Homo-oligomer: A and B are copies of this chain.
Amino acid sequence: MSLKVYLSGEIHTDWREQIIDGAQGLDVTFSSPVTDHGASDDCGVAILGAEPNKYWHDHKGAMVNAIRTRKGISDADVVVVRFGDKYKQWNAAFDAGYAAALGKSIIVLHGPDHQHALKEVDAAALAVAEAPAQVVEILRYVLTGVLPG
């Protein structure tokens, strides 16, 4: 068994690297959105032409990014959705809903402060973790049956 894992959500900490590093040696293929904030915001206008209206500026970028995120989620066996401490992060919750409707296995990753606000998202998950290392342990167990320690 091999797993395709999509890493959705927060782009300001190194949680993706922690998971990818921790999962070395496991039969996992990771994908993720573009995590360069500036490129992600401006990709639409940089390629397809400037927009004086900020709404359409954002819209063009969000549409281009959707080519990547939809592909990543659609191909994934497991979607990990990370909610960090800051920002609205509505795109992360949107990805979780999208993945849920497609029947993907979802792992939500967030600190205890967000438990109440994320209860509907957590209710769609097969695991709710607080640390990237726990996600790695889940992937290891799912693929090999081996538990930590």
Contacts and interface: CB of A to CB of B under 8 A. Distances in A.
Interface residues of A, number: 81
A90 B117 contact: yes
Given A88-B88, A95-B97, A101-B101, A67 B138 contact: yes
A88 B119 CA distance: 12
B101 A1 contact: no
B97 A66 contact: no
Contacts of A53: 53, 56
Interface of A: 1, 3, 31, 34-36, 39, 42-44, 46-48, 53-56, 58-72, 77-78, 83, 87-103, 105, 107, 114-129, 134, 137-138, 141-143, 145-149
